[in-house]
Chain A
Amino acid sequence: EAGVTQSPTHLIKTRGQQATLRCSPISGHTSVYWYQQALGLGLQFLLWYDEGEERNRGNFPPRFSGRQFPNYSSELNVNALELEDSALYLCASSFGAFSGANVLTFGAGSRLTVL
């Protein structure tokens, strides 16, 4: 069974540009979560999508946005990139929001570097 897949593995952008990161959940999972992991810091919750809808949003500015497609894959968009956006972006998936405890399975992450 394929796990959570993320692309690209690495991405280098310059300040002010836009970045798009993609995530494919485990088959059967309908929830997708995005986390930011900056160097030396923990997992900061960004966004949660379930059944195509945004269910929850972390304490991040509006330039962080995303969506979930009908096949439950998801993309994270970061506009007007700033140097401090450099981080590992992790995607996780789980069964639906109301199926019980949120047991998350993580992908390997996308490393975004902003120069």
Chain B
Amino acid sequence: SQTIHQWPATLVQPVGSPLSLECTVEGTSNPNLYWYRQAAGRGLQLLFYSVGIGQISSEVPQNLSASRPQDRQFILSSKKLLLSDSGFYLCAWRSGQEWETQYFGPGTRLLVL
């Protein structure tokens, strides 16, 4: 069966510090991968998605970036965090079939102070 991991679970960072969140998927190959952010009490905002190694599509211009160095690894980064980057960051995967469901990792709660 497939599993998706995210770490860390919780992170408190000062404004201006860098960020690196990691997501890995097991039990599948060539998945579509997604990074979402959810502000408190709000819906999901798609940040980035990837259909393959080195292929990243950005949905929202911001100070975040994403990379996919390996087939089942997806990394979200920032060089300098802003207060507005606080939120719940969720990684999701889906098989290459378009009608398939997206499945979410446990999430990382980021607080920027």
Same complex origin of A and B: no
Residues of B within 8 A of A (CB): none
